[in-house]
């Protein structure tokens, strides 16, 4: 069977879904791999490296001839219309934003899998692309903030006096938040963090940051769930003073398939010191600050708000390596004797399958 990797065509996407290391593993599993010329250029994976790993590099998009198509962003409508009937696709596909694409997949009897819906179970961890890319985003968010902050992050003791360390507040202690905490600590900042899950406190403290204990009901479990507006209002009241005291705020709270909860208000930002920075990792899903605009920087008084847009794509080398490994591990669940045969009795595959056998399997938001 033929696995195809097209060059990403959506704006500002610099990652690639297959790297030479994973090509070798797919070939060893009995598949043939076809990669479009230049697909890995931003990730510094040259065509020659793909060939050396056993792939065929094609000048044209390999999508129409492929049995399996792997990509980062969803295929375009034009690409989807050229898929083989019964083909398999793997990508980040948000059903709420891709209704037309899902209808094309349905009509062509395509089996499509989305990492956005991958079940959060132990067996699926090695294929968890949301987590791997969140790690990249959390790291990059701190670098973005540090570059824009008009002061040092670490403390310096000099003949001219002592420069105190910057104060960083991270809201949300999932994968992105924990990586942001670790990176800010490495750069010498004093870090505080908050999460609705009490269990996150231990992880935050293990990284050398202070965990904020707010007078709020906490959640159990590994992942945060939707909160009521009354809860969010009380949360904002208690967070406000900590936001005002910070030089950098990084917000990471997002709920797949839903609008991001608003954690930071304009009044909070106006209380921050001039030159402070907010990096909103949830800007693409509405923003943890309601005024965030994905891909743009705006000023609220003298505070800079950076609406993050696809931060993992700004570090395409390691983001691609991690993502390609996630793709490989998901495919391994489907490969039987050199043939990709998705078994939807498998809870992992069933959970992230959007279309199959002429049907849209998940309710569209």
- Which amino acids are annotated catalytic? 120, 125, 128, 131, 223
- Packed helices 316-332 and 129-148: angle between N→C axes, nearest 10 degrees: 170
What the block records as the tokens of 272 is 């921050």
Question: On the CB side of 215, how many CA atoms lie within 13 Å of its CA?
Answer: 3
**CA dist 256 → 97, 120, 330 (Å):** 12, 12, 19
Q: Helices 129-148 and 175-186 sit at what angle, rounded to 10 degrees?
A: 40
Strand order in the sheet with 277-280: 210-211, 190-194, 167-171, 248-251, 277-280, 303-307, 297-300
Within its chain, how far is the Cα of 361 from the centroid?
24
Burial 116-145 (b: 16+ CB within 10 A, else e): bbbeeeeebeebbbbbbbbbbbbbbbbbbb
Cα angle for residues 231, 232, 236 (degrees, 5° grid): 120
Sheet of 359-360: strand order equals 56-58, 32-36, 2-5, 68-70, 88-91, 111-114, 353-356, 359-360
Query: Are 83 and 89 spatial neighbours (Cβ–Cβ below 8 Å)?
Result: yes
Q: Which residues contact 163 (CB under 8 A, 6 or more apart)?
A: 151, 152, 155, 156, 157
Q: What is residue 164's DSSP assignment?
A: P
CA–CA dist 188, 201 (Å, integer) = 20
Q: What is residue 280's three-state secondary structure?
A: strand
C-beta atoms surrounding 183 within 10 Å: 23
Closest CA to 101 of 127, 119, 80: 80
What whole-number distance in Å separates Cα of residue 334 and Cα of residue 324?
A: 16
């Amino acid at each position: 069977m033929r696995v195809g990797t097209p060059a990403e065509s959506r704006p500002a996407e610099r990652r690639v879904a297959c790297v030479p290391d994973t090509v070798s593993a797919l070939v060893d599993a009995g598949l043939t791999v076809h990669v479009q010329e230049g697909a890995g250029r931003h990730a510094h994976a040259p065509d020659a490296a793909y060939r050396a790993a056993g792939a065929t590099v094609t000048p044209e998009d390999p999508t129409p001839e492929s049995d399996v198509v792997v990509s980062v962003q969803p295929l375009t409508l034009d690409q989807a219309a050229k898929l083989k009937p019964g083909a398999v696709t793997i990508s980040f596909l948000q059903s709420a934003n891709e209704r037309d694409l899902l209808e094309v997949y349905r009509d062509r009897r395509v089996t499509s899998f989305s990492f956005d819906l991958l079940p959060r179970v132990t067996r699926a961890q090695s294929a968890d692309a949301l987590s791997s890319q969140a790690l990249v985003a959390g790291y990059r968010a701190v670098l973005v903030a540090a570059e824009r902050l008009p002061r040092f992050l670490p403390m310096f003791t000099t003949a001219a006096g002592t420069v105190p360390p910057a104060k960083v507040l991270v809201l949300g202690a999932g994968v992105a938040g924990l990586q942001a905490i670790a990176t800010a600590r490495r750069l010498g900042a004093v870090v505080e963090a908050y999460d609705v899950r009490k269990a996150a406190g231990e992880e935050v403290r293990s990284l050398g940051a202070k965990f904020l204990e707010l007078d709020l009901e906490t959640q159990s479990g590994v992942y945060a769930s939707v909160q009521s507006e009354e809860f969010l209002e009380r949360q904002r009241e208690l967070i406000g003073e900590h936001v005002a005291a910070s030089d950098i705020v990084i917000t990471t709270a997002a709920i797949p398939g839903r609008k991001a909860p608003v954690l930071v208000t304009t009044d909070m930002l106006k209380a921050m010191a001039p030159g402070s920075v907010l990096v909103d990792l949830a800007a693409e899903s509405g923003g943890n600050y309601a005024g965030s605009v994905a891909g743009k920087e705006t000023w609220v008084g003298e505070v800079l708000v950076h609406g993050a847009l696809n931060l993992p794509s700004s570090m395409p080398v390691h983001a691609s390596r991690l993502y390609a490994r996630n793709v490989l591990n998901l495919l391994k669940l489907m490969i039987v004797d050199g043939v990709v045969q998705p078994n939807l009795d498998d809870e992992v595959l069933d959970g992230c399958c959007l279309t199959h056998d002429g049907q849209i399997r998940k309710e569209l938001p």
